[in-house]
Amino acid sequence: MKFYSTIPLHKIFFLALCLVLFSSFLLEAQTNATTSSPYSRFALGRPENTGFSAILAQGGSYTAFQNDSVAPFYINQGNPASYSYNKLTTYEFGARYGFYQYTDSQNGLVKKQNGGFNYISFAFPIKRNMGAAFGLLPFSNVGYDVTTYENVDQIGQIKNSYQGSGGINQVYGGFAMRPFEKVLRNFSKSKTCDTLRKQGKYKVVKRKKFILKSLSSLSVGTNVSFMYATINYATRKYFPANFGSVFNTKDFTETQMHDVYFQGGAQMSFDIDSIGKHNLKKNIKITVGYSASLPKDMAVNVTHMSCNFSQGSYGNELNFDTFSYQPNYKGKIHLPLMHSFGIGIKRGESFSMLLDAGIQQWSKFSFLGDNQNLRDQYRFSVGMQYLPSRNAIGTGAYFKRTM
């Protein structure tokens, strides 16, 4: 029985057309800020969570996540090694909504909300042991609007405005394969296996099958992403009205980025059907995974301008007396190593658990040579799923098949 299907060429064109259509909506939605966090002012903004809806529902544990044989409808972009387990052509898109609430000493309680399209992705099998995926999703988001006030002797109250918008998006394509997928079948049909059985060495056969089955499950994969971004930062100072508007100052920076980014991963599984002399009623499947995004120097173009400005009768800004202007300054952003380790435990078709640990070395990040005093990020996540009956039908079947 085959668990894969060949995709006709016209369906590939259909998938590509769907990606173009949905990406046009997604790109339009991402021109607006999809976060309202003042912490997105630092580094490249607020990093987006890795993984789509099914993974986020399990605490964001993605490194050892694989599609199973009963419901193979998910895409694990976080670890490209999972693509080789694609059994069906699958597409997924998502939207997000955020509600933010924070307090500062000058403005008190501040509430903000936003939302929109978030990602779109397609995955499909190529052969029994190969799969691929492509899609469009955000890498980070910048969106903040913070106002502070300061009292200066002989001047009065000065209003400071800090604003940021934009973010980094990525178009990715990925491929994975299980290079040793046939080793178990080849051994089972070999003369060596027959000889061992005839000699009564069943434990040796069982041990070799266990090792070869684990080796045949080894999957390796990679994502290649085209990263593009436009990030705007603006700082304004408004002086009291009795001084006029000639002292109002604005410092504006626009960063544009277009570069390629690489990610790789691996997964391996093995089954436990007995403990000692006791056979288990339900096999336990253990999956281990590793995923890494390699360090990368990303080329950027930066435009910086500082000037005085006045406000028109309709609130529009009128720039004058530019005292600093640097167009298309070329530089580098260093993205650090980001990697994660994961373990998945599955018992039968009802219970599964995922555990993840990740490290992002932001202490080695630099933006045009500035580290911004960032620290490394450590992530630990756990997710569990229990389905009373995956194949339930009839009255109440929905709740029996719901996580």
Q: What are phi and psi of 199, to 5 degrees?
A: -85, 0
AA identity, residue 101: Q
AA identity, residue 351: F
b/e per residue 145-169 (b: at least 16 CB within 10 A): ebeeeeeeeeeeebeeeebbbbbbb
Q: What is the pLDDT of residues 195-248, one digit of tens each?
A: 777 777 767 777 777 787 888 889 999 999 998 888 889 888 888 876 666 678
Report the percentage of the chain scoring pLDDT > 70.
79
Q: What is the pLDDT of residues 31-59, one digit of tens each?
A: 445 666 777 777 777 887 777 878 888 88
Q: What is the pLDDT of residues 260-287, one digit of tens each?
A: 999 999 999 888 776 666 666 778 889 9
Cα separation values, 95 from 92, 112, 215, 237, Å = 11, 17, 38, 36
Cα separation values, 85 from 69, 116, 268, 305, Å = 9, 30, 12, 51
Beta strands in 23-155 (DSSP E): 46-47, 90-104, 108-127, 130-152
Using the predicted structure, report yes or no on whether residue 3 has a pLDDT greater than 80: no
pTM for the complete prediction? 0.80
Q: What are phi and psi of 258, to 5 degrees?
A: -145, 115
How far from chain centre, in Å, is Cα 93?
A: 13
Angle value at C-alpha 402, between 400 and 403, nearest 5 degrees: 120
Exposed/middle/buried for 41, CB within 10 Å: 0-12, 13-18, 19+?
middle
pLDDT at 173: 92
- Higher confidence at residue 159 or residue 71? 159
Tell me the average pLDDT of the chain.
79
Average pLDDT over residues 347-367: 86
Q: Are 138 and 167 in contact (CB under 8 A)?
A: yes
H or E, element range at 215: helix 202-216
pLDDT at 140: 86
Q: Are 171 and 260 in contact (CB under 8 A)?
A: no
